[in-house]
């Protein structure tokens, strides 16, 4: 399958290029950057540090997608939706690791998925998706008597808070316990805020330095505590997961999928 990559000149873009080059059955066919970017017109392989590939970074996604089967998009919701419109119009697939979608934006993604196959996941890491599965099992076993807190750490350039991965972790636990995440998530405690409620799920955020990503879910009972943690040491695992999602999409029907589907965990 031919793969195009959005944001090819960025840190994540370089990792994605390398992952696609290493993945069986995938070929890099195009690379884009935002209009006005200084790397427009340069060879995508040289920018990524993998050697000359003969693929020029473009600012015209419409033209790039003409030769691609699937687009990898790690951007922001507004950009992702614009890119989805182009993919849907051309009948191309998308793999997106963008986070921070509002419910309304998520609805637009679902509408596009009626026409094309889309893998949308807050985290493409195989390890993180294994954690989602473990959290579901832990919540089933421990039940409602354990307090649940989610703590996430990321670099100081991250724009959304809490991370999409942290939100999904909270959602998995809430769904398993029969709770509505939007009603029980507690993002802020300050001053005389009262005692912790039985059903709330605390969501705590740390930002600093160059932390790639760390997530810990605490199940806290009387006299004992269970912690399920994932720590990312580099962005390579996200890129490898995205490449794996592209491979999995081949031959799939239109629909909205996530990494649990890709890994057979759903």
The SS3 assignment for 95 reads: strand
Active site residue 92: no
Among residues 37, 39, 133, 158, which one is catalytic?
158
Q: What is the pLDDT of residue 166?
A: 96
Instruction: Read off the pLDDT of residues 3-16 as tens digits, 9 standing for 90 and up.
Output: 999 999 998 999 99
Among residues 92, 154, 215, 230, which one is catalytic?
154
Distances 50 to 15, 54, 115, 211 between C-alpha atoms, Å: 10, 12, 35, 24
Instruction: Read off the pLDDT of residues 26-84 as tens digits, 9 standing for 90 and up.
Output: 999 999 999 999 999 999 999 999 999 999 999 999 999 999 999 999 999 999 999 99
Instruction: Read off the pLDDT of residues 203-242 as tens digits, 9 standing for 90 and up.
Output: 999 999 999 999 999 999 999 999 999 999 988 999 999 9
Instruction: Read off the pLDDT of residues 179-195 as tens digits, 9 standing for 90 and up.
Output: 999 999 999 999 999 99
Rounded Cα gap, residues 147 and 129, in angstroms: 22
Q: What is the pLDDT of residue 265?
A: 87
Q: Using N-to-C axis directions, what is the helix angle for 164-176 and 126-142, rounded to 10°?
A: 30
The alpha carbon of 27 is separated from its chain's Cα centroid by a whole number of angstroms, namely 22
Contact predicate 246/200, CB 8 Å: no
Active site residue 154: yes
Confidence class of residue 98 from pLDDT cuts 50, 70 and 90? very high
The full set of domains in the chain, from first to last, is 2-120+235-262 (3.40.50.720), 126-232 (3.30.360.10)
- Whole-prediction pTM: 0.82
Query: Helix (H) and strand (E) counts for the chain?
Result: 10, 12
């Amino acid at each position: 399958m031919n793969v195009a990559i959005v944001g090819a000149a960025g840190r994540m873009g370089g990792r994605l290029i390398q992952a696609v080059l290493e993945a069986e059955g995938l070929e890099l066919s195009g690379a884009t950057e935002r209009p006005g970017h200084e790397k427009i017109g340069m060879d995508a392989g040289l920018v990524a540090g993998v050697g000359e590939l003969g693929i020029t970074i473009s600012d015209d996604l419409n033209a790039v997608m003409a030769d691609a089967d699937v687009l990898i998009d790690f951007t922001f919701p507004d950009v992702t939706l614009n890119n989805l419109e182009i993919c849907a119009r051309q009948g191309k697939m998308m793999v997106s690791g963008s986070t921070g979608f509002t419910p309304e934006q998520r609805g637009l993604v679902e509408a596009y998925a009626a026409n094309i196959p889309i893998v949308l996941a807050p985290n493409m890491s195989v390890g993180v998706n294994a954690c989602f599965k473990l959290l579901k099992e832990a919540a089933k076993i421990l039940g409602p008597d354990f307090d649940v807190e989610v703590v996430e750490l990321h670099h100081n350039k991250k724009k959304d808070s809490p991370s999409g991965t942290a939100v999904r972790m909270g959602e998995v636990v809430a769904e398993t316990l029969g709770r509505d995440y939007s009603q029980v998530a507690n993002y802020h405690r300050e001053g005389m805020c009262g005692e912790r409620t039985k059903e709330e799920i605390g969501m705590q955020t740390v930002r600093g330095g160059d932390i790639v990503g760390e997530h810990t879910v605490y199940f806290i009972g009387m006299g004992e505590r269970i912690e399920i943690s994932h720590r990312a040491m580099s962005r390579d695992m996200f890129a490898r997961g995205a490449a794996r999602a592209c491979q999995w999409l081949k031959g799939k029907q239109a629909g909205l999928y996530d990494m649990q589907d890709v890994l057979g965990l759903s």
